Amino acid sequence: MRTKALRALGQIVTSDASILATPNVRRAIESHLLDSSSAVRDAAVELIGKYMIDSPEVAGDYYQKIADRIAVRELSHVIREREAYLVSKDTGLGVRKRVIKLLKSFYSVTEDTTRRIDIATRIVLRMLDEDETVRDLALKTIEEL
């Protein structure tokens, strides 16, 4: 039901992407990014992803929440604690793959060097993912960037 609701919201947002910037909608979507169901989290990432590339204001609002789905934010912590490299922020395989694809697209449209470095770092960290398909996708993505 929650997944269907997010997909329905996606259809509504096609007419006005600024709805995603509304505080109540933003809080609801952010809570779905943390849902116990990976299908719901995936639907939330998909919803944001559709509009993140075309609407910079949406990207600014949601970037950190999306990026946190695939890798830790504190790189210095990761370097000190080698085992932290293997920790995924999202347990859903499909969610991690969708986020990698979304960040690849966002990398191409952003001119913010700091954000590009952050995207590349997070994707490189997924090259150490426990799942081979995620590792392969991360490697392919880095090669294409």
Q: What pLDDT digit, counting tens, does each position of 17-26 carry? A: 778 778 888 8
Entry pTM = 0.78
Provide DSSP, 105-122: HHHHH---HHHHHHHHHH
Cα-Cα-Cα-Cα torsion 107, 113, 114, 120, nearest 10 degrees, comes to: 40
Give me 13's structure tokens.
């947002």
| pLDDT score recorded for residue 72 | 56
Rounded Cα–Cα distance for residues 37 and 47 (Å): 16
